[in-house]
Every structure is written in C-alpha cells, then in structure tokens.
Structure 1
Amino acid sequence: MTTPSNPALRERYLRDAVATASPAKLLVMLYDRLVLDLARGEQALRDGDNTEARAQLQHAQDILMELRASLDTTLWDGGPGLAQLYSFLLTELIQANVRKEPDRVASCKTLVEPLRDAWREAATAAATPA
C-alpha cells in the first residue's frame, strides 16, 4: 500500500491510519517511527546537522516517554525490565544529543530494532484468525 504524495492527502491518510489502527498496530507504528527517528538522528549527527539531529532525537525521546507511560508493568513479568530499558534508552539519547555521539544513537537503534520486530510478529499473530 502506498501513501498519497500530496501533503494534505498524506496527512489525512496518516491520521486515518492511526485512528483506525488496533492497539497492537499502533504499538508497531510507534516502534517503526522510533527506529526511523533514530536512523535519521544518527545520520544527521554524522552529517553535522545538529538542528535536524536534535529534532529527530527529541521525537524519539517523546516516543520512548509515550511507550513508558503506556506500559503497565503489572501485566507480565517482563514489564519492569522493559520499563528500565525505555529509561536507559531515553538517557542514552539525551546524552547522544548533548554530546553529538552518533555511535550512541546507533547502539540504541540496535537495541530497539529486535523489539520492534518482536512486537510486529506478535501483532501479526494476534491479527491472524486461529
């Protein structure tokens, strides 16, 4: 499925996609955007574009804070560990942003990508009829 190229249509498409997505799909969408923000932030730091890096890394931090705020650590044994990982990632991104360290951002992305893939698998499995 492709998204429209007209900016207004694209915005409406994205808004509609978010509004109609299941909670599992929304989680995957957040992780996808987090990975994208990290990749863009890392590249911006490598290119010396500190303004763009700051914007991307701050958006990634916002996503991490949303993921942490929506995590109910009482629902499963891994919840507290995931909360700690979100806090660790947030701290790392703040430091990477302040110190202009693209390798630190890359390390965060390396931690996030397998989580994204696992959530995507879980969402697909949950959406598949038995």
Structure 2
Amino acid sequence: MNYTAVRTRYLDDTVATASPAKLLTMLYDRLVLDLTRAETEQRAGDRGAAGPHLTHAQDILSELMSTLDVSAWDGARQLMSVYTFLLTELIGANVAGDPERTAACRELVEPLRDAWHQAAQEVTVTSTLEPIGSLPVMAGSGGFGELGVG
C-alpha cells in the first residue's frame, strides 16, 4: 500500500469514528488552517495557490451553516450571521486577492474555534461523569446535538 492510500484510509477512519463534538472542532481547525495558508499565499502574491484554500474554507462554512440549528440555543442566530458574513468576506477576499480580508476572517474564526474546543471538552467531561441518557441532546437529526448544531 502506498503512503497516500494509507493516509487517506487513516483520515477516512478518523472522521468516520469521531464524535460529533470532535467533528465540529476538526472543521474549525481545518478552517483556520485553510485561512492561514490562503493568507500566506496571498501575501506571497500567488492568488492561484490561495484560491483552493479559500474555496475549501467556504465549503467548510457552508457545512457549518447547514448543520447549525438556529433554534437550539440563544446565540445560534448570531452565529449564523457570523458565518454568513465570513462566507461573503472570503468570496470577496478570493476575488480581490486581499490578504487583509483573509486575515480579518482568520482573526474572527480563531476565538470561535477556541470556544468550540472548550465546549467540546466540557461535553466530553460531562459525558464521562453522567449516564448517557441524562445528557441533553439539542434539536437536530443526530449531528452535533450536544453542541447545538446538527
């Protein structure tokens, strides 16, 4: 088996077996990575190399938007507004090749990523302390219920 096939299998298995909370934090981690890479390429003047990273970041935001249950918690509508803003800004940053817009998006996403990591850790700690049946699952179809998305 070649390295690429092994790596692909490992990544597929990791995603397939990850908890909803872990999947959410993985999406945020990758979003920050894509924005960092895009900003670096834009600052180097390589819009062509930045484009795929920005497009992937937009795909992640679209996924986050589609899984967010705006009725699950008080801040969900505001989070959807942030996602909508970010999506619009990333499209503009890609079209204009503007590293400052990309950096501003990254700076907005990083604290969100950190907050979701903390929430996921708290959900994990709580689930190890309480019986499974006592955890509240917010609205959704089995997605990221514990974190109010899904």
Q: By the TM > 0.5 criterion, same fold?
A: yes
Q: Which residue of 2 aligns with 1:63?
A: 60
Backbone CA RMSD of aligned residues: 1.1
* Cα separation, 1, equivalents of 2:69 and 2:51: 29
- The one-letter amino acid paired with 2:6 is L
2:96 counterpart (88, 95, 99): 99
Tell me the equivalent position of 1:83. 80
Rounded to whole Å, the distance in 1 between the matches of 2:47 and 2:33 is 17
Q: Where does the alignment leave 5 or more consecutive residues of structure 2 unmatched?
A: 130-150
Q: How big is the shift at 1:122?
A: 1.0
Give me the whole-angstrom Cα distance separating, in 1, the residues matched to 2:8 and 2:124: 26
| Distance in 1, Cα, partners of 2:39 & 2:98 | 8
Partner of 1:41: 38
- Equivalence for 1:24: 21
Larger Rg: 2
Residue matched to 2:132: none
Cα distance between partner residues in 1 of 2:7 and 2:113: 24
Identical aligned residues as a percent: 58
Report the counterpart of residue 71 of structure 2 in structure 1.
Answer: 74
Which 10-residue stretch deviates more, 58-67 or 5-14?
5-14
Q: TM-score, normalised by structure 1?
A: 0.94
Letter in 2 for 1:22: S
Return the TM-score normalized by structure 2. Answer: 0.81
| Structure 1 residue 45: Cα displacement | 0.6
**Equivalent-residue separation in structure 1 for 2:45 and 2:6 (angstroms):** 33
CA shift for structure 1 position 83: 0.3
Structure 1 gaps, min length 5: none
Q: Which residue of 1 aligns with 2:49?
A: 52
